[in-house]
Amino acid sequence: MVGEELDQGKLAVFEERIARGEKIEPGDWMPEAYRQQLIRMISQHAHSEVVGMLPEGGWITRAPNLRRKLVLLAKVQDEAGHGEYLYHAAETLGVDRQELLEALLAERAKYSNIFNYPTLSWADIGIIGYFVDGAAILNQTMLARCSFGPYSRANIRICAEESFHMKQGKEMVIRMARGTSEQKQMVQDSVNRWWWPTLMMFGPHDTDSPNSPQLIRWGIKTRTNDELRQTFVDNLIPELHALGLSVPDPDLTFDEGEGHWMIGAIDWDEFYRVIHGDGPCNKERLGARRKAHEDGRWVREALAAYAARAEMAEAL
């Protein structure tokens, strides 16, 4: 009982610190639930960056010109780096990157659902930058204000780089929307396929997110799923309309009074189906990750052997 009272006192101090806008650092006292929520969120975020390389990576060799190829290569490299920033942030909480990677390969960990959809055309590369990275930036801008110092700093670094990702995609979409009729058709088809999965990226409605109030109280998140989703829709719809593109939502209306674009119902059955492994590319993505891990084994072994030999030489 004494221990519990002690923890109540620590919890009060902890919550006051967060209310004052202070950052919690790895050596500070924190509730176990705060630590666990952060490990879950940060590792999912890291895995998303790593798996997120796959849908785009396959298009590097098929980029239509050298400029687009250089840009896409740089973007995919950035995603690998973002994964590493985030694994580091998780490791400050006492987990090991190796455990996290093994959890991903063994399907015990999740990554963003969006990467379980296929990239069928070059226009998808533009739409991923414009939609998927655009949605990710909204989330990550919020997380850059997170109360946990290492996660906040990782997101600040990510946001600075992610703006380039969004803009290179948006530039492609603008170009294609103003191009030949085939290009317009290709980019419209891509909008049609990515619109709903992108909106699902923000997660379930606030009424179905039981963790949200605590995450907000502890400053891990500062905005709800629905708030972020609404900002995304309000930003994007006028731009798409200006470009002569439409979204596949017959119920979309503009609420004059509120100044918001109101979307139709999201198919949450699809969301949960894909999350639980039955999306178009779940098997392919994990298969590609496992293959990369196995194919890289000899490199890891060679480096380990080299390090061991150097250490032995030094000891002699």
DSSP state of 261: E
Q: Between 20 and 39, how does the x/- string for binding to another protein read (CB under 8 A)? A: -xxx-xxxxx----------
In the list 91, 124, 133, 249, the residue contacting another protein (rule: CB under 8 A) is: 91
| Cα–Cα distance list, 57 to 62, 123, 155, 229, 284 (Å) | 10, 14, 23, 27, 13
Distance CA 58, CA 55 (A): 6
In the list 15, 161, 189, 227, the residue contacting another protein (rule: CB under 8 A) is: 161
Per CB under 8 A, which region of 48-56, 203-211, 234-242, 260-268 contacts another protein?
A: 234-242
Minimum distance from residue 95 beta carbon to another protein (Å): 12
Per CB under 8 A, which region of 53-61, 97-105, 192-200, 257-265 contacts another protein?
A: 97-105
Per CB under 8 A, which region of 118-126, 151-159, 247-255, 274-282 contacts another protein?
A: 151-159
Name 125's Cβ contacts closer than 8 Å, sequence gap at least 6. 56, 59, 72, 119, 169, 172
Distance CA 79, CA 20 (A): 33
Distance CA 54, CA 49 (A): 10
Paired strand residues for 253? 262
Per CB under 8 A, which region of 79-87, 207-215, 249-257, 269-277 contacts another protein?
A: 79-87
Name 226's Cβ contacts closer than 8 Å, sequence gap at least 6. 202, 205, 206
In the list 58, 213, 238, 264, the residue contacting another protein (rule: CB under 8 A) is: 238
Helices (H) and strands (E) in the chain, counts: 14, 2
| Cα–Cα distance list, 115 to 54, 55, 67, 213, 264 (Å) | 8, 7, 25, 27, 23
Minimum distance from residue 164 beta carbon to another protein (Å): 5
Minimum distance from residue 187 beta carbon to another protein (Å): 12
Which positions lie near another protein, rule CB under 8 A?
Answer: 21-23, 25-29, 67, 70-71, 74, 77-78, 81, 84-85, 88-89, 91, 96-98, 102, 105-106, 149-150, 152-154, 157, 161, 163-164, 166-168, 170-171, 174-175, 177-179, 238-239, 242-244, 293, 297, 300, 303-304, 306-307, 310-311
